[in-house]
Amino acid sequence: MRLVYYLGVFIPAAIVLELADAGPVVVFGAASLGVIPCAAVMGEATEAIAARTGPGIGGLLNVTFGNAPELIIALFALHEGLQEVVKASIVGSIIGNILLVMGAAMFVGGLPRDKQTFSQTAANAQSAMLLLALAALIFPAIFQLIHGGGLPAVGEERVDFGSDLEKLSFGVAIVLLISYVAGLIFSLKTHRDVFNPYSEGDEEETHHWPVARAAVYLALAAVAVGVMSEILVGSISEASEDIGLSQFFVGVFVVAIVGNAAEHWVAVLVAAKDKMDLAVNIAIGSSAQIALFVAPLLVLVSFVVGPNPMALVFNGYEIGALLFAVMIGNLVTQEGESNWFEGVQLMALYAVLGLVFYFA
């Protein structure tokens, strides 16, 4: 974990490069690397506070800060009117957590072992929430197609789908947020023992920061993420053109990986320590958070930020990626055990999607 903090040198570097009007590719690269240590600090600080304040406050903190880098980046993108980039980053976060993060965790954790086990009940509950979110995220696109409309084209920055789809997306967002709150009550109160398989001693051993120190680091990291996100979003358009990559590919893969860097790191780390319950909950749970909390929140915010409200209508590539990632993620967690080969298969699908999105 300590090695990630050395990337903190890119925070002032990105600011200096932006002020010096350096090339967009250099600015984008520095800002992307600058987000990673901020995300790592936010992840560790949140877990440190949660370990000392109980599951209720800990759950609230995880909702607020667990996906903060991704949310902040998306808010700046919304303000710039890059709605298709925002939707691409939502899809990228979901498929990245299921395929890349869980795949890497299963591979690294499974290499020295025949198999690893985790709670079927907890994994199935998270997967069920993700399936619900999948249906809710896809049906606005089905509504659009049935009524003779088309899906957004790859490369578009923003599409005005009309008031009906905007109202439909608003209603879907409200339902998803209510479902997410119910999921928090289920996992943090009525069935919290299922989602908390480790003792307090294990948590204390992992999280050694005092609460005051963690709170200060959390606040500083949030400010730094905001600055890095503004620089990153401002350079996306020109940087993607200079590199020869579409904004679509950058949104699905680069922005999503950067925004969830802390969770990616922690999931693989705990899997290597044979804490597969925690690794699976991070991977599936983070995807559920993006789908049930971040995505609907961005829809609601888009009604007051940006040129026009964002409708939850994804393009064909995004819908296909969501369908296969969620179904396969649900399949590999059904038995409550994993091995390194399943991890390879998940990462292989992620690589295939990367190739498809690159040529899209």
Of the listed ranges 53-57, 185-189, 229-233, 249-253, the one predicted with least confidence: 53-57
What's the whole-number mean pLDDT along residues 20-36?
A: 88
pLDDT at 54 over 60: no
Q: What are the Cα distances from residue 280, in Å, to 21, 77, 211, 318, 323?
A: 42, 30, 27, 23, 19
Q: Which string of b and e fits 324-340 if b means at least 16 CB within 10 Å?
A: bbbebbbebbeebbbbb
Q: Would you state the structure tokens that stand for residue 284, as one six-digit string?
A: 């599936």
Model pTM?
0.81
CB 243 within 8 A of CB 43: no
- Nearest partner of 108 among 286, 273, 263, 257, judged by Cα: 273
Percent of the chain with pLDDT over 90: 33
Q: Give the per-residue pLDDT at 307.
A: 84
pLDDT at 265 over 80: no
**298 or 191: which leads in pLDDT:** 298
